[in-house]
Structure formats: structure tokens, C-alpha cells
Structure 1
Amino acid sequence: MIAILAPLLIPADLATRMTMTARLRPPSADYLLGTDQLGRSLFYRVMLGANTSLMIAGAAVAMSVLLGLPLGIISGYYRGHVDNVLMRLVDTLLSFPALLLALTISAMLGPNLPNTIIAIGIAFTPFLARIIRGEALRVAQMPYVEAARAAGTNDLQMILRHILPNIMPPIIVQATISLAFAILAEAGLSFLGLGTQPPQSSWGLMIQASRDYLDIAPWTALVPGAAVALTVLGLNMFGDTLRDVLDPRTK
């Protein structure tokens, strides 16, 4: 709700307005969460940073689902040589840690917001492709799929009508949980200078800017760090709840 409403309710200049006489102020009645090294209000920056961080994470996960769906479904449905070729490609990407792969892609493309989305989206694609392939393999062997095949249903109709709708629940759950990891990845990239760039508000960028002031102003790191931790915890709990709701075996 904060990510959606903050840009509508808070003027953007409040997050970038510098008051040099109020540098590194601790939390108080005037500055609810304190100020950073440039006298900017952390309260406004952390709320507007929610929009940036969640927008990057949501777009990256959507991209990884769009890339992973055709890879996983085609591999799980056709099997054989097609499965071997596609999964070896996926295994090659899985051999790199996701954050390291995102770091490499972001460094090659250059540090900005669209490239951060692309880097995280590509890095998360192999994980989702593997899960989608497993679900497609399971559904493809169901009796109703065999019956549809015997009735003369072509491959495209089979995938769109029978395979895709029945593998969506676990994909939705995994995408929700992946949002949490995407937020951590965005924070990591921004911390290393390869993600969101100043003066835009981002939780990872705020943590990166606070590293030189941890001994005298620890709140500059604790505030965005707590925002990341609470959001990741909330998304993981939301993913667990979705799994319980969408999995009929838990009822």
C-alpha cells in the first residue's frame, strides 16, 4: 500500500530536498526516522523507495515468468531432445549464483533502472523454468491430457487449454516468493553501484549511502534495512499462505 500510495500522496521533492543544517539527525518529532548525510528525510525516502524497489522486483519477476513459461512448458511437454537442449541451457545459467549472474549482466549493460530489471529477470529465469518444467511434466501425464490427445487436440490447444491453467497455482506461489529474492537482489545491485542511481530513492541505494556513517548515524542503514527485511518476511508469509490456499491437498 505504501509503494502504491506514497508517490500519489508525497511530493517527489520531499525525498530529495537537502537541508545541510539537519544532516544526520536522529529520529525525532521533526524527522520521524531521522535524516541522512545530506539532510534528507529518511521517512519520505524510505516510503518513496518502496515504490522503486517493488516496481523493479515486480517487473523483474514478471519478465522471468514470461521467459520461463515457454522454456519450461515446451521442455516438459515435448521431452526428448527438446527437453535435453533447453534444460542444458537452463543448467548452464543455474551454475552461476543468481546475484553474480545479475551483477555480470548489469555491469555489461550499464547501471540504470531498466537494465537492473533485465539483469534480475534473466538471473531468475532458470529457477522458474525448472519449476515450470516439473509441473508441465506432471500435468502432461494426467489422464485428461491423454484423453484430449486421443480426441485429436493439437499441441497448441493442449498447452493453452490443459497444461497452462493447471500449472498456474504453483507458478503464482513461486513468483510471489521470488519477489522477496528480487528485492534483495535489487538492494544488492544498488549497494554495489550497479542498480538504481542517485537521486532516485531506493532501499539498496540508501543502505549503500549509509555505509560511511554507521558508527555515528546507524539509523541511516537500519531504516532501509528494516524496510527490506519486513517486506521480504511479508512476501514469504504471503507466498506460504497462497500455497495453502491454492493447494487442494492442504484442505
Structure 2
Amino acid sequence: MTARRGLSVALLAVPLLCALGGPVLARGAPGERSAPFGPSPWSPFGTDRLGRDVLAAALTGGQTFLVVGVLTVLGAYLAGFLIGVAAAAAPWMWLEDLLMRPVDVLLCIPALLIIMVAALRTEGSAVAIACAIGLALVAPIARFVRMAAAGVVHGPVMDALRMQGETRAYRYGRYALREMARPLAADIGVRFTAAVYFLASANFLGLGFDTTSTDWAVSVAANKDALLIAPWSVVLPAVLIVLLAVGTNLLVDDLLPDPRGLAAGARRAGPDA
């Protein structure tokens, strides 16, 4: 394991362990609440605005944040991927325009406006907000996938596979997907960071989940006014969010290196390296 991969795994492991195993560890926290933004008898991080232990809240707030973020990005990427690949492989220009022009219109609508409308129309439904964030992500994903797929689906290898009689499932499901794996995996990391940003922004504006939730994004927004007197109530969940986003992107970059970069590095290292 390279040093870069070890660092990315370590960064990613902290929020994942907190999200997956945190609720079990938080069972030892006292059930009664203390004074808001004061000391806590259970951890050195003190209490939040509701008198809950900051560490216990962080340990129990990761599951919701992680599930919402991951499902939102996966759903948005599935829709954007299908639109992008279909547009890149469209045999007629009018069909490509039919698929991509609505995407261009969606790109012109601010993401926070979509989230605000969904939140106001559904009285802050978590499902509606997650769907709104996914809808805001579909347009840039579709355009990115179309750009990444254009050179693959119209390339000479795809033409050769078609002339050899390979099935459409093989051409697109194996060859094209394998060729696009690196840029798509890197883009998924970026879109996950964007989903985190939109989710945190919605909660900052009071449009997201229940303000008493221990969700990491909610905790940052709800306790922001006490940053100077109780910094851990904001810093701890914020750090977990940052570690999750940075660790994900670093790990993806390390697991899918550019073959041309590896070859160039091998040539610079020499035959005896």
C-alpha cells in the first residue's frame, strides 16, 4: 500500500467508523441533558445547543448523513449516466438535442432554488430534499458523461467490435464502461462533495432536516452561532464531513491511476528501479 493510499484510507476510515459504529459507542453517553454549550461529563468536547454531548451527537449523526448523501449521488448518477450515454451514442442529431437541451435548461436553474421549492412544497421532507439535490446533480452529470462517452462510443475500437458482431451489451456494458471508469469514478467523488455542500447549505438555510437532528450537516448549521464559545459543536461534525469528502476523492484517485502516468513514471525511474 502506497503512502497516498494509506493516507486516503485513514482519512476515510474515521468518518465511516463514526457513521457505522458510532451509534453503538454512543450508548454509553448519559441520557439526561446538561447545560447548553457547557462541559459534558462524558467527553471533553462539551455539549451542543440542546445540551447533548457533542461526541455522542457526532457518533449518532453520521448514518443519516452518509445514507442520504450516497443514495442521492447514486440515484443522480444513474439518471445522468443513462442520459449522457444515450446522447453520446444517438445516431441522429435531433435525438441528441432532444436529450440534452432539457439538461441545458436544468443547468440554468440554481440548485438551491430547486431545493428551496422542494422543501417549501413538502414542508421540509427529507426524501423531497434528497430528490431535489439529485435533480440538481443530474444535469452536470449528464453533460460530463456525454463528454466522456463521446470519444469511446464513436471510436475505432467500438467500430471494430460492432463489425465483429459483438452485442450491444458487451460493447457498452464491458468495453465502454471500462474505458470510462476512471473519469466517472473521479467525477462521482466530486458529485458526492457537491451533494454534501447542497445538503449542508439547505440545513444552513433552515430548509433541511429536523433542526434537533444529530445529522452532521444539521449540527454545523444549528450550532454555528456558538462557534466561539463552544467550537467543538461545529468543528467536530464539520471535520468529519471534510474527512469523508477528501478521503473519498483521494482514494478514488489512487485506485484509478492514469496508465500513461504510470508508464511515464516507470520510464523516468529507469530499468533498475
Amino acid across the alignment from 1:40: R
How many angstroms does 1:29 deviate by?
A: 6.6
How many angstroms does 1:14 deviate by?
A: 4.7
**In 2: Cα distance, 1:43 partner to 1:120 partner:** 28
| Matching residue of 1:63 | 75
How many angstroms does 1:153 deviate by?
A: 4.5
**In 2: Cα distance, 1:227 partner to 1:81 partner:** 46
Match of 1:90 among 87, 103, 118: 103
* Secondary structure at the counterpart of residue 223 of structure 2: helix
Structure 1, unpaired ranges of 5+? none
Match of 1:250 among 243, 248, 261: 261
CA contact (8 A) 1:136 1:167 kept: yes
| Matching residue of 2:126 | 113
Match of 1:207 among 212, 220, 232: 220
Cα distance, 1:231–1:164 mapped onto 2, change above 3 Å: closer
| Matching residue of 1:144 | 157
The runs of 4+ residues in structure 1 deviating greater than 6 Å are none
**C-alpha RMSD over aligned residues:** 2.5
CA contact (8 A) 1:174 1:239 kept: no
The answer to whether residue 177 in structure 2 is matched with residue 164 in structure 1 is yes
CA contact (8 A) 1:76 1:133 kept: yes
The answer to whether residue 5 in structure 2 is matched with residue 5 in structure 1 is no
**In 1: Cα distance, 2:168 partner to 2:135 partner:** 27
Cα distance, 1:18–1:82 mapped onto 2, change above 3 Å: farther
Cα distance, 1:99–1:37 mapped onto 2, change above 3 Å: same
The answer to whether residue 238 in structure 2 is matched with residue 222 in structure 1 is no
Cα distance, 1:85–1:98 mapped onto 2, change above 3 Å: same
How many angstroms does 1:240 deviate by?
A: 3.2
CA deviations over 1:217-243 (Å, ceiling 9, x no partner): 34332332333333333333334334x
The answer to whether residue 56 in structure 2 is matched with residue 40 in structure 1 is no
How many angstroms does 1:104 deviate by?
A: 3.0
| Matching residue of 1:130 | 143
| Matching residue of 1:78 | 90
Cα distance, 1:148–1:109 mapped onto 2, change above 3 Å: farther
CA contact (8 A) 1:190 1:205 kept: yes
**In 2: Cα distance, 1:146 partner to 1:229 partner:** 43
Q: Which moved more, 1:203-212 or 1:124-133?
A: 203-212
**In 1: Cα distance, 2:232 partner to 2:185 partner:** 35
What number of residue pairs does the alignment pair up?
Answer: 245
Amino acid across the alignment from 2:254: T
How many angstroms does 1:207 deviate by?
A: 2.2
**In 2: Cα distance, 1:175 partner to 1:143 partner:** 27
Cα distance, 1:49–1:130 mapped onto 2, change above 3 Å: same
CA deviations over 1:162-187 (Å, ceiling 9, x no partner): 32332233212211222122112211
CA contact (8 A) 1:64 1:122 kept: yes
Amino acid across the alignment from 1:99: L
CA contact (8 A) 2:189 2:249 kept: yes
Cα distance, 1:136–1:235 mapped onto 2, change above 3 Å: same
CA contact (8 A) 1:45 1:201 kept: yes
Structure 2, unpaired ranges of 5+? 1-16, 263-273
**In 2: Cα distance, 1:156 partner to 1:81 partner:** 24
Cα distance, 1:18–1:96 mapped onto 2, change above 3 Å: farther
| Matching residue of 1:19 | 33
TM-score, with length taken from structure 1: 0.85
Between the two structures, name the one with larger relative contact order (CA 8 Å, sep ≥ 6). Answer: 2
